[in-house]
């Protein structure tokens, strides 16, 4: 058995060129993109085919809050009228309103800026 040392050994695996590697990556990225688009578009429709139309989820009905009213007594320093305020509170409460009373000490420009 004679071994010829002058012959070049051929590598078992040939590494791809940069162009080949980039082309392979491009094909894989395109295939992945195609699969992703098909999955996002087709899967929801397949669910409807096999499972029927989607069941509507129960929506929580908001509990109605009582209406609100505010009595802003901006002239209470000059012309106090506690009778009027009490009568107005009673009328509004009988009508179902939650009443907030703001006395003249609280009525400022900043109060009006933050009034809802």
Question: What pLDDT digit, counting tens, does each position of 48-69 carry?
Answer: 666 666 677 777 778 888 899 9
Lowest mean pLDDT among 4-8, 35-39, 84-88: 4-8
**Which class for 69: exposed (0-12), middle (13-18), buried (19 or more C-beta within 10 A)?**
middle
d(CA 28, CA 24): 6
Whether 7 shows a pLDDT value over 70: the answer reads: no
Tens digits of residue pLDDT in 10-47: 666 666 677 777 888 888 888 888 887 877 776 666 66
Judge contact between 85 and 101, C-beta under 8 A.
Answer: yes
| Residue of higher predicted confidence among 45 and 96 | 96
Return the pLDDT at 35.
Answer: 84
């Amino acid at each position: 058995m004679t071994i010829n040392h002058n012959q070049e050994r051929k590598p078992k695996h040939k590494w791809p060129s940069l162009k080949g590697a980039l082309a392979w990556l491009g094909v894989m990225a395109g295939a992945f993109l195609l699969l992703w688009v098909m999955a996002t578009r087709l899967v929801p429709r397949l669910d409807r085919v096999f499972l029927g139309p989607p069941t509507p989820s129960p929506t929580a009905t908001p509990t109605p809050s009582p209406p609100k009213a505010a009595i802003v007594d901006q002239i209470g320093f000059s012309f106090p009228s506690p009778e009027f305020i009490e009568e107005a509170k009673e009328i509004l409460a009988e009508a179902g309103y939650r009443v907030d009373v703001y006395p003249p000490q609280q009525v400022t420009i900043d109060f009006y800026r933050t009034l809802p």
